Amino acid sequence: MIRNITLSVDEVLINQAREKAEYEKTSLNKLFRDWISKYVNRGNVSADYENLMEMLSTVNSGGKFTRDEMNER
């Protein structure tokens, strides 16, 4: 079940956060949900791993590499 909460934050800070969230194509709600999840699960190795994998999901290695390509220096 999702519950609403009320936070008190300086209006200027809220406006800056909204602008930044819009630039990052997200919302303050999503950012807060992500933050509170990370806060609650901090120190939980499994959750830390899942968060890391989610953050890295946009990384593109450029395809598969041969053994020689991976060992090139």
CA dist 45 to 2, 20, 35, 50, 59, Å? Answer: 25, 29, 16, 9, 21
Residue 65 lies in a domain: no
User: How high is the pLDDT of residue 42?
Assistant: 77
In three-state secondary structure terms, 43 is coil
Residue 1 lies in a domain: no
User: How high is the pLDDT of residue 14?
Assistant: 94
Residue 40 lies in a domain: yes
- The number of domains in the chain is 1
Residue 70 lies in a domain: no
How long a stretch of residues is the chain?
73
Are 28 and 17 contacting, i.e. CB atoms less than 8 angstroms apart? yes
Residue 35 lies in a domain: yes
Residue 51 lies in a domain: yes
> What pTM was estimated for this model as a whole?
0.56
- Domain span at residue 37 reads 11-58
pLDDT digits (tens, 9 = 90+) for 14-63: 999 999 999 999 999 999 998 998 888 777 778 778 888 888 888 887 88
